[in-house]
Amino acid sequence: MIRSELIQKIADENPHLTQRHVERIVNTVFDEIIEALAKGDRVELRGFGAFSVKERDARTGRNPRTGESVEVEDKKVPFFKTGKLLRDRLNGKA
Amino acid sequence: MSEKTLTRMDLSEAVFREVGLSRNESAALVESVLKHVSDALATGETVKISSFGTFSVRDKSARVGRNPKTGDEVPISPRRVLTFRPSHLMKERVANGKKR
């Protein structure tokens, strides 16, 4: 399923809303999650999962082609942990 | 500033602000987004949200695990797990967000 299919499904269920409205709703949900993570905040959606930011320490990496070592700066990366209900559903338990 | 935890309520509030539907309807629509994503994943489908990221379901085969406390061997049954791969945009926003 891609973004446009998700928008279509929700639009079909809400005939009183225009396609443009549904687009803005769906985009707002995903944009809000990105904005929160950019600020370093967590987003916890019970039953679905939690988005958070993990800090990776600086390390000395290596260029796999040349074998040269390179300094890799510390960085922040997005992380998602699946919620219990969704994990159970994937395994046919809920 | 210390970090906060956002919930469904904050997402509904954002929809309420941005789109101007009632608070109740905004909350119902946020729930509907999560439900449709979950439903697709539960059937094993990959969910690809452009400029956000990709959720995909992976099958893990059975293996022998170990109870770390007792050292006992325990069989781990085959299972399906969800992985999320953030988009370049999300990675960039998170990496640059607070730093400069």
Summarised one tens digit per residue, pLDDT across range B65-99 is 999 999 999 999 899 999 999 999 999 999 987 54
**DSSP reduced 3-state for B21:** coil
Domain parsing of chain B, residue ranges: 7-43, 44-99
End-to-end Cα, chain A, rounded Å: 21
CATH annotation of A42-93? 4.10.520.10
Smallest Cβ distance to B52: which of A30, A40, A53? A30
Mutate to test the interface with A, among B11, B51, B94 (most CBs of A within 10 A): B94
Residue A59 β-bridge partners: A72
Domain parsing of chain A, residue ranges: 1-39, 42-93
Structure confidence at residue B1 as a pLDDT band (50, 70, 90): low
Superfamily of domain B44-99: IHF-like DNA-binding proteins (4.10.520.10)
Segment-wise mean pLDDT, segments of 10 residues, chain A, 94 residues: 97 95 97 96 97 93 90 93 96 83
Q: Is the pTM of this model over 0.80?
A: yes
- CA distances for B58 relative to A15, B47, B83, angstroms: 35, 13, 7
